[in-house]
């Protein structure tokens, strides 16, 4: 801790103190650097004059007859900084650090609720628009249905991100680690977004494999996946290049951008204002899994815990990349199996 000593003596006439006199002073055993400020002169006046009460309090009854020299002792290795404490204590790991969140819980609740409402409303408006214009959805080709799904997901993504921008991003200035999409230095060892996306993807695959083995060992019959969004997309998978491209665009671009911005970039970061970052990661992962409304898939979605990779880099491109590679990889793999003549619905039921 930086300390200061005020030395006063009517016998000191020079503007410096010798090191021999300094060595007689009693200080801590830590190595300190000594800085000497000259006594007040006409060119360097004392900016903090003391009144009569202050002089008596300090014990300097003849203060007006004395000259002052200031000696500051500083230990550059001492990081305590007095009583100034930060949120981070213990190990200085990025995944343990919190964000300096400027908004309160009311804005958190309002924004998250508004995101959900905007997502639902866009779907209702699209359904009403299709009915109003008399679009025969049942008669559309698979390619046209895929294009319509892509358009619908694009509108929903724009609406929800607009809510985030209007209620959180625009009203107040934010530091650079909020809603950061930075493609620079992808392989930086400390926070390279692509490097840590690879690490996170390997970790996610290992977690899913371990979870699958555990469920197979301890659970009974597996739940049906008829409500799974992936099962609902099966007619489009492998049907044509257009359909596959639209599906990859939906699952590998739009959905990761939307979901990671909301659940990791906003919800998880907001929770770090009140909770440790690892706890915030787990809570946001649980909410993310619940939001998919597929109870049978909750364990797999939960153990992904993409927030850990995001906490390491503080760059949303990291979880977005993991999410995109996971989703698009599944679509491309199923397309390949479909083209090879496999019954992919049966494979999904058995998975």
Q: Which domain covers residue 124, as residue numbers?
A: 98-350
Q: Structurally, how many domains does the chain consist of? A: 1
**For residue range 103-146, what is the model confidence (pLDDT) as tens digits?**
999 999 999 999 999 999 999 999 999 989 888 888 899 999 99
Residue 91 pLDDT grade (very low, low, confident, very high; cuts 50, 70, 90): low
Q: Among candidates 197, 114, 208, 205, which has minimal Cα distance to 161? A: 114
pLDDT in the model for residue 228: 63
Please name the residues in contact with 71: beta carbons below 8 A apart, sequence gap of 6 or more: 4, 5, 7, 17, 22, 34, 35, 36, 37
Task: Decide if 259 contacts 156 (C-beta within 8 A).
Answer: no
Residue 189 pLDDT grade (very low, low, confident, very high; cuts 50, 70, 90): very high
Report the alpha-carbon distance of residue 112 to residue 140 in Å, rounded: 35
The answer to which of 36-40, 73-77, 78-82, 94-98 has the lowest mean pLDDT is: 78-82
On average, the pLDDT of the chain sits at 79
Whether 31 maps to a domain, the answer reads no
pLDDT in the model for residue 350: 67
Whether 177 maps to a domain, the answer reads yes
Whether 75 maps to a domain, the answer reads no
Across residues 246-255, what is the average pLDDT?
96
Whether 179 maps to a domain, the answer reads yes
Whether 208 maps to a domain, the answer reads yes
Residue 129 structure tokens: 């628009």
pLDDT higher than threshold 70 for residue 10: no
Task: Give the containing element (helix H, strand E) for 7.
Answer: strand 3-8
Whether 4 maps to a domain, the answer reads no
Whether 121 maps to a domain, the answer reads yes
Whether 172 maps to a domain, the answer reads yes
Task: Decide if 33 contacts 74 (C-beta within 8 A).
Answer: yes
Residue 242 pLDDT grade (very low, low, confident, very high; cuts 50, 70, 90): very high
């Amino acid at each position: 801790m930086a300390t200061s000593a005020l030395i006063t003596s009517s016998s000191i006439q020079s503007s410096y103190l010798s090191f021999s006199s300094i060595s007689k002073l009693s200080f801590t055993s830590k190595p300190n650097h000594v800085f000497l400020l000259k006594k007040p002169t006409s060119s360097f006046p004392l900016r903090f004059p003391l009144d009569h009460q202050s002089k008596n309090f300090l014990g300097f009854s003849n203060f007006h007859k004395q000259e002052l020299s200031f000696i500051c002792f500083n230990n550059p290795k001492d990081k305590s900084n007095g009583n100034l404490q930060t949120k981070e204590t213990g190990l200085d790991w990025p995944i343990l650090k919190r964000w300096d969140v400027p908004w309160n819980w009311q804005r958190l609740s309002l924004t998250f609720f508004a995101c959900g409402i905007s997502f639902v409303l866009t779907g209702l408006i699209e359904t009403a628009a299709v009915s109003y214009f008399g679009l025969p959805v049942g008669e559309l080709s698979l390619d046209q249905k895929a294009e319509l799904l892509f358009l619908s997901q694009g509108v929903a993504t724009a609406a929800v991100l607009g809510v985030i921008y209007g209620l959180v991003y625009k009203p107040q200035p934010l530091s650079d680690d909020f809603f950061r999409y930075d493609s620079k230095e992808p392989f930086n060892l400390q926070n390279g977004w692509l490097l840590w996306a690879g690490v996170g993807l390997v970790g996610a695959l290992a977690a899913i494999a371990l979870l699958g083995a555990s469920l197979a060992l301890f659970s009974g019959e597996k739940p049906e996946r008829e409500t799974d969004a992936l099962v609902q997309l099966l007619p489009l998978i492998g049907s044509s290049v257009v359909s596959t491209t639209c599906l990859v665009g939906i699952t590998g671009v739009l959905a990761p951008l939307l979901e990671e911005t909301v659940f990791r970039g906003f919800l998880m970061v907001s929770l770090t204002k009140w909770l440790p970052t690892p706890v915030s990661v787990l809570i946001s992962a649980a909410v993310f899994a619940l939001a998919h409304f597929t109870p049978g898939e909750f364990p797999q979605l939960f153990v992904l815990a993409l927030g850990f990779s995001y906490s390491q880099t503080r760059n949303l491109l990291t979880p977005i990349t993991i999410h995109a590679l996971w989703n698009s990889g599944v679509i491309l793999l199923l397309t390949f199996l479909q083209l090879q003549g496999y019954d992919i619905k049966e494979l999904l039921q058995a998975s």
